Amino acid sequence: MTTLAHYLNTPTIDPALSDVITTITDVGKTISQLLRKGALADILGEAGNQNVQGEDQKKLDVLANDLLLDALAQNAHCAGVASEELDHATPANADGSLLVLFDPLDGSSNIDINMAVGTIFSILPYQRQGQVSTDSDFLQAGNQQLAAGYLLYGTSTMLALTVADTVVMFSLDPDSGDYVLIEEAVQIDADTSEYAINGSNYRYWRAPMQQYIDELIDGHTGVRGRDFNTRWVAAMVGDVHRILCRGGLFTYPFDTKDIKKPGKLRLMYEANPMSLLIERAGGSATDAVNRILDIEPTDIHQRVPVVLGSKNEVEYVKNLHVQHANA
C-alpha cells in the first residue's frame, strides 16, 4: 500500500513541493469531514456576499477558502496564494519558492443538493524569492506549473495529482485518514462517445460548437455514424474526474450570454490545472483553437473557453472551428 506521504517522499520531487501539496491535501481532509456532516455542521446556504466576479458566495466557498488560505500562509515554502474567492493574491512567506492558486470549492451549486464538489489547485514557481509577492508574479502560463490536482468530494474523497510526468490517483481512507494510491498512471482513451456540456446555452454558442453538438445529437443517423451520450455533473471537477476514469469530452465553450465573460471557467485555477492533468494523462485541452497551457495570462481571474478530454474528440472540435474560420 502506498500512501500520499510515501509517494511524495522521493528524491525526484522537490521537498518544498511535497510540503505544499501535503498542506493542501490535509485541508482537503477537513473540508471532506465538513461535507460529510453537511447540514448538521451549519455549512450549507449562502454566505450573503459576492466574490470579485459577481458570483454569490456559499458559506462553504468562504470556509474552504479560509481554511486553505490560513494553512498555506503558515507554510514556509508558500510565497503567495491566489483564489477564486479573493480579489487579489495574498502574499505569504517572501522566502518561499512556490505560488499556489486554487478554486477552494468547485461546483458550489452542488453543495446544497448533496452532490459532488471539489477543490482544484495549481502550483507555480516563485521567481522573486525574498520579496513580497504580488498579483503579477502569478501571471505565468499553465505550462510553467510544477504541480496540479484536485480533490473530489464525492461518494468517496479522491485526489488526482500530477507532480511528475504521470497522473496519479489516491482515495482517502476514512478509517486511517491516509490518501492511498489507487492508480499509478492514469491514461485517457483517444476516442469516446460521451460528452459534457450545459446545452441550455446553445443559442449563445458560436456556429462550430452548435454544429458539433448537432452532429452528436444526430448520433448514428448523422455524419458521426454512432450514438453519443451526455453526462453533466455541473462541477468541472466531477466531469474531469469522469474523463480521467473512462474518457470523454468536456466543454464550457465561448458564449455570448454575458459579453464580459468569454467562457465561464477561470484560466488560472480551473482550466490550467485541469489541462495539465488531462494532457499528462494523454488527452488534450484547448480553448477551441489554442492549447490552454500556452495562454499567457493577463489577469489572475481571467476566463477562457475550455474543450478538454479524449484526444481525437478534442481534435474534431478544433477542426470544426478551423474550418468555420476559413470558410
Q: Which residues contact ligand AHG (rule: CB under 6 A)?
A: 55, 84, 103, 106-109, 198, 234-236, 252, 264
Q: Cβ distance 238 to 154 under 8 Å?
A: yes
Q: Residue 319 binds which entry of ligand AHG, Mn ion, none, with Cβ cut-offs from 5 to 8 Å by kind?
A: none
CB of 198 or CB of 229, closer to ligand AHG: 198
| Closer Cβ to ligand AHG, 44 or 180, answer by number | 44
Instruction: Give the E-state strand segments of the chain in sequence order.
Output: 46-50, 56-58, 78-83, 90-91, 98-106, 117-125, 147-153, 157-162, 168-172, 179-183, 194-196, 229-230, 249-252, 284-286, 306-309
Q: Is 42 helix (H, G, I), strand (E, B) or coil?
A: coil
Please give the backbone phi and psi of residue 150, each rounded to the nearest 5 degrees, phi first: -145, 155
Alpha-carbon dihedral of residues 164, 120, 85, 117, nearest 10 degrees?
-170
CA distance 25 to 19: 10
Least distance (Å) from ligand AHG to the CB of residue 121? Answer: 13
CA distances to 42, 59, 62, 70 from 48, rounded to whole Å, are 14, 8, 10, 21
Beta carbon of residue 130, minimum distance to ligand AHG (angstroms, whole number): 33
Q: Classify residue 14 by its DSSP letter.
A: -
Query: CB 168 → Mn ion: shortest distance, Å?
Result: 22
Which of ligand AHG, Mn ion, none binds 198 (CB below 5-8 Å, type-dependent)? Answer: ligand AHG
**Per the structure block, which three cell numbers stand in for 161?**
495529482
Binding mask 100-119 for Mn ion (x = CB under 5 A): ---x-xx-------------
CB of 118 to ligand AHG, least distance (A): 8
Residue that is written with C-alpha cell 488531462 in the block:
278
Closest to ligand AHG by CB, 106 or 279: 106
Residue nearest to Mn ion (CB): 106
Which residues, listed in sequence order, are joined to residue 44 by a DSSP beta bridge? none
* Residue 235 near which of ligand AHG, Mn ion, none (CB within 5-8 Å, type-dependent): ligand AHG
Nearer to ligand AHG by Cβ, of 17 and 308: the residue is: 308
Q: Which is nearer to ligand AHG, 96 or 248 (CB)?
A: 248
252 binds, among ligand AHG, Mn ion, none (CB under 5 to 8 A by kind): ligand AHG
CB 104, min distance to ligand AHG, A:
8
By beta-carbon proximity to ligand AHG, the closer residue of 204 and 316 is: 204
Tell me how far, at minimum, the Cβ of 285 lies from ligand AHG, in Å.
14
Per-residue CA distances from 186 to 49, 144, 293 (Å): 39, 21, 19
For residue 270, the minimal CB distance to Mn ion (Å) is 5
Distance (Å, rounded) from C-alpha 257 to C-alpha 254?
9
Nearer to ligand AHG, 137 or 255 (CB): 255
Q: Check binding of 84 to Mn ion (CB under 5 A).
A: yes
Q: Which three cell numbers stand for residue 74?
A: 503558515
Q: Which residues bind Mn ion (CB under 5 A)?
A: 84, 103, 105-106
